[in-house]
Amino acid sequence: MSLRLEAVGLGLAYRGRAAFAGVDLAMEPGTLTAVVGPSGCGKTSFLACLNRLDELVPGAAVQGRVLLDGADVRGPAVDVVGLRRRVGMIFQRPTPFPLSIRRNLDLPLREHGVRDRAERAARAEAALRDVGLWAEVKDRLDRPALALSGGQQQRLCIARALALRPEVLLLDEPCSALDPLASGVVEDLVRDLGARFTRVVVTHNLAQARRIADQVAVFWVRDGVGRLVEVGPTAAIFEDPQDPDTAAYVRGIRG
């Protein structure tokens, strides 16, 4: 089941220096939101706030709220482990664990209390099928994950998150470390996951955003702080942008 995610007045500062601020953005259930904008405008920082990964950075302070299905993810009753199961994150560089392919999927499942071995195996297989990797790896599940190609590694990372049955997927430039072919495979995969997940994809590739996104959010640096300058349905952003920076950006003039 996919859930609605909403940022309200969201901002993040590293040791008192604001990376981005004042972001109001609603991500409807099952939609794909593309987050675009020039380097350093706070896209990665924004994603990190959505599943509380900012807590890994000493001195990072969050303002505003993130609502998952209406409830604040920083509320006192929220358990962060459960939150991160429900809101999965994929990084720019594939980060398989230096373990076997099987262990890569097994370890997080075990961590989340899936005791039954057969069930873990079944969920791992389903996730690998979801990302189209099953046929490629089913005979080498006990081989090291690091021996896979970059594109396969990235799909393994997506499978690893999917095995936990998340409701939201955050993807930070999931294709930018891959060659064009592997990039196309991952892009299709993210699109075809479809309404099962609410997806937020950071990308520098505007053509890609145009192909896969339901809505596009444009970040821009204003006075040294990242701001959400425009958000709307994909067609509107690309064909009729309101903000002058957005207009120049989507026409490829700036950014």
Partner 1 sequence: MRTAERPRWRGLAAAGVVHGAALAVLGAFAWILGDLLVAGLGQVDWAFLTAPPQDAGRAGGVGPILASTGILLAICLVVAVPLGLGAAIFLAEFTPAEGRLGRLVRRSLDVLAGVPSIVFGLFGNVLFCKTLGLGFSLLSGGLTLACMALPLIIRTAEASLRAVPPGLRQSAVALGMSRTSVVRHLLLPAAAPGLLAGFVLGVGRALAETAALIFTSGYVDRLPESILDSGRALSVHIYDLSMNVPGGDHRAAASALVLVVALLAINGASALAMGRFGRRLGAR
Ligand X SMILES: Nc1ncnc2c1ncn2[C@@H]1O[C@H](COP(=O)(O)OP(=O)(O)OP(=O)(O)O)[C@@H](O)[C@H]1O
Write out the residues near ligand X by the rule CB under 6 A: 14, 19, 39-45, 57
Tokens found for residue 79: 């358990």
* Separation of alpha carbons 20 and 224, rounded Å: 9
Give me the helix-helix angle, 150-162 and 180-192, nearest 10°: 20
Q: Is 91 in the site for partner 1 (CB under 8 A)?
A: yes
67 and 5 Cβ atoms separated by less than 8 Å: yes
**Least separation in angstroms between CB 18 and ligand X:** 8
Of the two residues 82 and 233, which places its CB atom closer to partner 1 in the complex?
82
Of the two residues 15 and 115, which places its CB atom closer to ligand X in the complex?
15
Task: List the interface residues with partner 1, window 147-166 (CB under 8 A).
Answer: 147, 157, 160-161, 164
Q: Which residue is nearest to Mg ion (CB)?
A: 44
Spatial CA neighbour of 206 closest among 152, 158, 157, 254? 254
Of the two residues 42 and 166, which places its CB atom closer to Mg ion in the complex?
42
* Separation of alpha carbons 188 and 204, rounded Å: 16
54 and 42 Cβ atoms separated by less than 8 Å: no
Residue with tokens 């930070």: 172
**Least separation in angstroms between CB 39 and ligand X:** 3
Of the two residues 19 and 190, which places its CB atom closer to ligand X in the complex?
19
- The site string for partner 1 over 17-56 (x = CB under 8 A, - otherwise) reads ----------------------------------x-x--x
Of the two residues 44 and 100, which places its CB atom closer to ligand X in the complex?
44
* Separation of alpha carbons 115 and 137, rounded Å: 24
* Separation of alpha carbons 90 and 64, rounded Å: 24
The strand pairing partners of 34, in sequence order, are 201, 216
Residue numbers at the binding site for partner 1 (CB under 8 A): 51, 53, 56, 58, 80-85, 88-89, 91, 93, 95, 97-99, 107-108, 111-112, 143-147, 157, 160-161, 164
Residue numbers at the binding site for Mg ion (CB under 5 A): 44
